[in-house]
Structure 1
């Protein structure tokens, strides 16, 4: 989601501050590199509010490339590498920074037919990585078209979902997930009414979205002011929901739990909030999230932030949070 310029002055007052005493690493000098900010964070007080999660990694990603940043979705491929989608429909491929060995990252800008008629780029907000093929479903705001790409970003299909046109062009399908039972769920970033700051629309598809399909609907109730920005499926089928709120004091984020059995046509779904991210050292506009299974039997939640083209104020942060699924 692109924040309007009206928010710029307010954002100046709340720029996130993370100590920079860290090592920078790169595999392509001048293109993409990272800064490990976790050692500096460990020197300060513990980060409160994370509930069952523990911060175990934090990196700031950098690039001089024009299409870099503004990441609104995050996914994990079968080989363990990550994919991030920006709201300019550029794709970032990167290896996990928590693993030994050289770190690799490269980005590619997606051209037409994703471009919206009124812009020079798309507005990619949601990403589904298909099992067995690693094909990518790119879901943009402001268009009813969903494109499928191969892992090498060759277009192999298009799905036209007219119902997506019911949502605001700049507050449309912000979060989506493929459920364990085969259904696909999408969440609206915008509010369903001008008189509420809690209710958001949701679509349910019987499987992967199909051209001409009319999805079933449900209502998502978030804490006041929070908007859904990402969904990620746990190994047991439950969903983690990422939410974000903008205030004059800075961004606030939450992670909540959703039982997929509650997602039914006509239902009202109220997530169970597990954690808040409010510490000024790590808070930012987190819009991407994915889950990995770790070798020790625990799981990890990865979050990536949307820098909103304001790199002097906001950063592209990648966080790793460890947790035990059986304890939530």
Structure 2
């Protein structure tokens, strides 16, 4: 699928969503060259406007996932069972919905996708699950999950290390969830990407291929975003006490990777017959200019924080930036005084 086709598949309001940071706090909108993080990525602005704020008696923060709704509004899911709708220009909240399980219990909501019918697919890393909600936050059902990906003792996953990322690939037929950490028995650092496929014009997804992906040492996969042709943007993140966060952005290609749904143990070793997802580093965000940002705890770059959410909001179609995707990131402040809810606007070129 071409970049032009990807843009056409986004709603008419999506272009407006790319102006999100224009009125939402400190913005630095010089040329991409002056704000380069690497040859492929530049940062055009950041905003702390929502840090430590409340809306309708709900804490605004703990953001773990982003998506653009069909009307161009920005959706942000909190891992404290809330789904916020944010104004596309100012980032100010204009709605919030509580989320719950089928029994009414809270869920560790981590990532979301707006499906083509407008319903919301939201992961929880407690079990893990992918549940479908309507626009009012009412649960409509859930997707099947392979037994091995469930948290022990039901499966081989570790709590708080499951479905951290979720994306719907262009075309709307393939859904992909990324595990943050490795399964018990797999080599440390190798995580699994699970896909679901649907056929025809129906809404239901069925289990499909699974892939192995090697995260960098000490990092986990916290978000994925679908790209034209079946490729992915992958966000890896880690934290070291007294040092701060490491955040790296990769382009990844699962198209020639082995389907690992029937592979019990992933070693990542040459000769085991398993081809992992290929990845290419686009940028280590420590190399981005700080843009005057400040940090509340030690960071190798004061711009960095606990970045966890990511959404592709559009693309530069004309001018010098042609072919660059517009990508929005957000950090999860964990409702912690020494962390910040911060939005980041990037331009990303994927060859």
Bin of the TM-score, shorter chain as denominator length:
0.7 to 0.9
Q: Deviations over 1:218-274 (max 9, x none)?
A: 211011111111111234542111110111310111110012413440341132110
SS at match of 1:242: strand
Q: What is the Cα deviation at residue 57 of structure 1?
A: 2.1
Contact 1:193 1:199 in 2 (8 A): no
The within-5 A match list for 1:177-326 is 177-180=167-170, 182-193=173-184, 196-207=187-198, 215-248=208-241, 249-266=243-260, 267-278=275-286, 280-294=301-315, 296-297=317-318, 298-310=324-336, 312-325=337-350
The 3 A distance-change label for structure 1 pair 313 and 115 is: farther
RMSD across aligned C-alpha pairs, in angstroms?
Answer: 3.0
The 3 A distance-change label for structure 1 pair 104 and 198 is: closer
The 3 A distance-change label for structure 1 pair 262 and 317 is: farther
Q: TM-score, normalised on structure 2?
A: 0.70
Q: What is the Cα deviation at residue 36 of structure 1?
A: 0.8
Q: What is the Cα deviation at residue 186 of structure 1?
A: 1.8
CA distance in 2, matches of 1:262, 1:85: 32
The 3 A distance-change label for structure 1 pair 264 and 196 is: closer
Contact 1:222 1:271 in 2 (8 A): no
Contact 2:110 2:125 in 1 (8 A): yes
CA distance in 2, matches of 1:296, 1:114: 46
Name the counterpart of 2:96: 107
- Residue 161 (structure 2) pairs with residue 168 (structure 1): no
The within-5 A match list for 1:59-78 is 59-60=47-48, 61-62=50-51, 63-64=53-54, 65-78=57-70
Unaligned runs of 5+ in 1: 1-33
Contact 1:186 1:202 in 2 (8 A): yes
Q: TM-score, normalised on structure 1?
A: 0.75
- Residue 113 (structure 2) pairs with residue 128 (structure 1): yes
The 3 A distance-change label for structure 1 pair 179 and 262 is: farther
- Residue 26 (structure 2) pairs with residue 37 (structure 1): yes
Name the counterpart of 1:8: none
